[in-house]
């Protein structure tokens, strides 16, 4: 497993180098990036097959410095592998939605691979120093992606987006320095909450960690200007990359599991829970009021990330695998809807037709769109239905009012997606030009049909492809 993990971490960096030195052919860089992502998916499946039980975990350490004592600790388990598999599939989905011009852009491919390398390294980092390095490191490729490939109407919003995330990195840095100040060695993430640290310092450490992870998730009242960024993205790959950022915040809370058991966390849990509920409700109303589908999709993804966050804060660790299965499907569905919507939007702009009824003239795309929307709103088509049902039921047992507000928010955003689908499929609206609207190609249809098969089979067994 050690050699597999090392190869897994090395492949994206090698992919960056090959893309950088590839010839300026139309799709050379794109093909290299696609091959790199596909190779790592095979490695993930191989590592999953080597895990004998759900509790299997492999740890590896590397002594970097002796004085001071800095040891890098890497580890992989089924939870991380499931998340990585969902991230990789969603990135490949995003790449299938790129235009021919975007596929020729080498900087987009390089920055994507570099971002995914930071993301996978974050998910296998087990000590607090290494975790901080990659938690901060992913901001650099994201910032360049926004600057080079974003199409935002408000530059100030993108600057605030970066500063907001950078502030979270500074909070985490303070916590890391305090932990090292009192222990003088690398510390496992799961052991941070049980360290022998003075009470006042422990409060700062836990507060900094919580603040850092919350900065990755759009929280009221900061969600409004963040939604403007997502609603104006025309690059599906950039949208998907940005939409994975909140996952790092949720994952951080999961990996720093022991801080949930410390006395210091109880100061913050009611506050975080209150802001989560308020954000879910407000952002669901935003999704209802806006016409832009990507903004509705942003609302949908934020609500579900907050659901997973509250599940971690309020429920026991026995629900962790339910979160993993839901996140796996959620990442794929979110990416698919973003790509399909931008494809429909581009077809609308090219034909000059009205947005209303656009899918009525694209039956292939409409069928795919309907399938993914039905999964997103919670119909029993994939494993996300069962696992979300378990999580929400457990939230109701913990707090009936919290469960009511969560269900209200999910119902509102579900109504928003269904209503938007109704508008896009309404055949009462006629074409305003004589131009033909080209439906999705055979290749893309076959690709998304394969994705639908994966999601449908997950309803019966979430990990049917390895277990």
Extended beta strands in 94-153, E state? none
Give the whole-number percent of the chain exceeding pLDDT 70: 85
Once rounded to an integer, what is the mean pLDDT over residues 167-177?
Answer: 90
Count: domains in the chain: 1
**What is the Cα–Cα distance from 212 to 207, expressed in whole angstroms?**
8
| Residue that wins the pLDDT comparison between 435 and 413 | 413
Tokens read off for 236 = 């599906």
**What is the Cα–Cα distance from 37 to 304, expressed in whole angstroms?**
26
Residue 220 φ then ψ, to 5°: -60, 135
pLDDT tens-digit map of 179-199: 888 777 777 777 776 677 777
Residue 359 included in any domain: yes
C-alpha closest to that of 333 among 300, 364, 307: 300
Residue 2 included in any domain: no
Supply the pLDDT for residue 222: 63
Tokens read off for 2 = 């050690």
Supply the pLDDT for residue 306: 92
Residue 394 included in any domain: yes
pLDDT band at 223 (very low <50, low <70, confident <90, very high): low
Domain that holds residue 387: 278-467
pLDDT tens-digit map of 389-432: 999 999 999 888 888 999 999 999 999 999 888 888 877 766 65
C-alpha closest to that of 151 among 87, 242, 218: 242
Residue 319 included in any domain: yes
C-alpha closest to that of 275 among 242, 228, 231, 309: 309
C-alpha closest to that of 387 among 313, 455, 466: 455
**What is the Cα–Cα distance from 154 to 150, expressed in whole angstroms?**
11
pLDDT band at 298 (very low <50, low <70, confident <90, very high): confident
| Residue that wins the pLDDT comparison between 147 and 52 | 147
Residue 153 included in any domain: no
Q: Provide the β-strand partners of residue 201.
A: none
Residue 30 included in any domain: no
Residue 259 included in any domain: no
| Residue that wins the pLDDT comparison between 277 and 160 | 277
Residue 54 included in any domain: no
């Amino acid at each position: 497993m050690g050699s597999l993990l090392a190869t897994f971490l090395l492949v994206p960096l090698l992919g960056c180098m090959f893309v950088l030195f590839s010839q300026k052919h139309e799709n050379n860089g794109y093909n290299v990036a696609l091959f790199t992502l596909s190779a790592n998916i095979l490695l993930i499946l191989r590592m999953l097959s080597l895990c004998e039980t759900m509790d299997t975990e492999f740890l590896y350490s590397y002594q970097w410095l002796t004085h001071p004592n800095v040891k890098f600790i890497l580890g992989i388990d089924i939870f991380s592998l499931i998340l990585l598999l969902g991230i990789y599939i969603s990135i490949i989905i995003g790449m299938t939605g790129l235009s021919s011009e975007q596929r020729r852009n080498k900087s987009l491919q390089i920055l994507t691979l570099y971002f995914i390398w930071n993301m996978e390294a974050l998910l296998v980092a087990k000590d607090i120093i290494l975790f901080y390095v990659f938690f901060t490191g992913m901001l650099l490729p994201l910032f360049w992606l926004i600057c080079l490939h974003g199409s935002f109407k408000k530059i100030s919003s993108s600057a605030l987006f970066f500063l907001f995330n950078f502030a979270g990195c500074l909070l985490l840095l303070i916590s890391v320095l305090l932990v090292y100040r009192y222990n003088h060695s690398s510390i496992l993430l799961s052991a941070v909450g049980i360290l022998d640290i003075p009470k006042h310092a422990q409060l700062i450490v836990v507060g900094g960690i919580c603040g850092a992870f919350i900065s990755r998730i759009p929280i009221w009242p900061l969600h409004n200007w963040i939604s403007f960024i997502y609603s104006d993205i025309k690059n599906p790959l950039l949208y998907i990359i940005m939409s994975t950022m909140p996952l790092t915040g949720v994952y951080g809370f999961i990996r720093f599991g022991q801080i949930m058991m410390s006395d210091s966390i109880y100061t913050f849990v009611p506050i975080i829970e209150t802001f989560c509920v308020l954000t879910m409700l407000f952002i669901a109303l935003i999704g209802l009021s806006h016409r832009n589908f990507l903004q509705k999709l942003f609302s949908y993804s934020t609500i579900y990330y907050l659901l997973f966050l509250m599940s971690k804060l309020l429920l026991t660790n026995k629900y962790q695998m339910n979160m993993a299965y839901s996140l796996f499907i959620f990442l794929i569905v979110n990416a698919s809807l973003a790509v399909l919507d931008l494809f429909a939007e581009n077809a609308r702009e090219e034909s000059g037709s009205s947005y209303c009824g656009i899918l009525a003239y694209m039956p292939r795309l409409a069928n795919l769109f309907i399938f993914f929307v039905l999964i997103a709103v919670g119909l029993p088509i994939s494993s996300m239905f069962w696992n979300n049902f378990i999580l929400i039921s457990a939230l109701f047992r913990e707090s009936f009012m919290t469960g009511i507000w969560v269900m209200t928010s999910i119902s509102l955003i579900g109504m928003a997606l269904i209503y938007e689908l109704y508008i896009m499929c309404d055949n009462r609206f006629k074409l305003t030009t004589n131009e033909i609207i080209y439906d999705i190609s055979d290749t893309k249809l076959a690709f998304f049909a394969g994705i639908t098969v994966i999601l449908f089979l997950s309803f019966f067994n979430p990990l049917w492809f390895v277990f």
